[in-house]
Structure 1
Amino acid sequence: MTVMRRNTILGLIPHGGAMCLLDDVLKWDGTGIICRSARYAAADNPMRRVDGSLGSVCGIEIASQAMALHGRLSAPAEGQPHPGFLVSLRDVRLRASRFAPDAGPLTIVAQRLLGDTRGASYSFTVTAREDEWLSGRATVLFEAPL
């Protein structure tokens, strides 16, 4: 069941146009989010190599977008959102050097491990057809309000 489509996602995160790699939110709550992406395989994906392939490390960007969206959805309704910056990656595991062209839609799961007004730590996995393509942990720091 899809709870949010791409057009809504585009209005919530700073990644616009072809750089927004999320298609749908399947589920989210205060602790995590599950998204889907077939955009990673799009010909206009700005992270594609000259030969058309996409390195699996680019899945970190897709997972980061899911984290950004989760942060925006779970933020207090009042006030302006504060930009976040990916500052640390830990325990990243890649299944292969690049995504298989026929991998199918990706499922991105990001679970907030801890967080406050200064930043958050997430675990993430990116799977396709129940095969894990990458996983790890990420730390995001938020820009302090002026």
Structure 2
Amino acid sequence: MFDREWIAARIPHAGSMCLLDRVLNWSQDTIHCRASSQSLADNPLRAGGRLGPANAIEYAAQAMAVHGALRAGADAAPRAGFLTSVREVEFHSDRLDLAAQLDIHAECLSGEGNHLMYAFRIESGGTLVSGRASVMLDADNKL
């Protein structure tokens, strides 16, 4: 079981900014994570007393980072990744914080060299947010 402590040790987000609770399932191409941080009053993404749907992109990005760590293997350091674009994002809800829990799904659609393309969806009894995201790996080595 890959819990919050395991996740926090492998992504660059610490404390309350580590949004995911656990990995439920994963393969070379997909990951399914669960989160309950959306309902916490101290969620660092909360603004105006609520958590808007655009914040689902951060949940998806963290799931993608965890997927990269899992694909790298337990003994390898995950490659640094940066979200470079999001496309075809659809919001099916006006807030995330009313859900008891979030299921975060990401699927790696393609990966060539340092560029990855993911499809993602955030669910809670139905799809709340979906879209695609591009990730660049090792971008810090190119600067």
TM-score by length of 2: 0.91
Q: Distance in 2 between matches of 1:62 and 1:42?
A: 14
Please, which moves more after superposition, 114-123 or 34-43?
114-123
Q: Which residue of 1 aligns with 2:136?
A: 141
CA deviation vs aligned residue, 1:61-90 (integer Å, no higher than 9, x gap): 001000010011102566543211101111
Q: Which residue of 1 aligns with 2:36?
A: 38
List alignment gaps of at least 5 residues for structure 1. Answer: none
Q: What do you get for the CA RMSD once the two structures are aligned?
A: 1.7
What's the secondary structure of 1:113's corresponding residue?
strand
When residues 22 and 77 of structure 1 are mapped into structure 2, their CA distance, relative to the original with a 3 A threshold, is: closer
Among candidates 62, 71, 94, match of residue 97 of structure 1: 94
Q: Distance in 2 between matches of 1:76 and 1:22?
A: 19
Instruction: Give the partner amino acid of 2:29.
Output: T
When residues 69 and 79 of structure 1 are mapped into structure 2, their CA distance, relative to the original with a 3 A threshold, is: closer
Q: Which residue of 2 aligns with 1:71?
A: 68
Q: Which residue of 1 aligns with 2:18?
A: 20
Q: Distance in 1 between matches of 2:61 and 2:116?
A: 12
Instruction: Give the partner amino acid of 1:111.
Output: E
When residues 49 and 118 of structure 1 are mapped into structure 2, their CA distance, relative to the original with a 3 A threshold, is: same
TM-score by length of 1: 0.89
Q: Which residue of 2 aligns with 1:128?
A: 124
Aligned pairs, number: 141
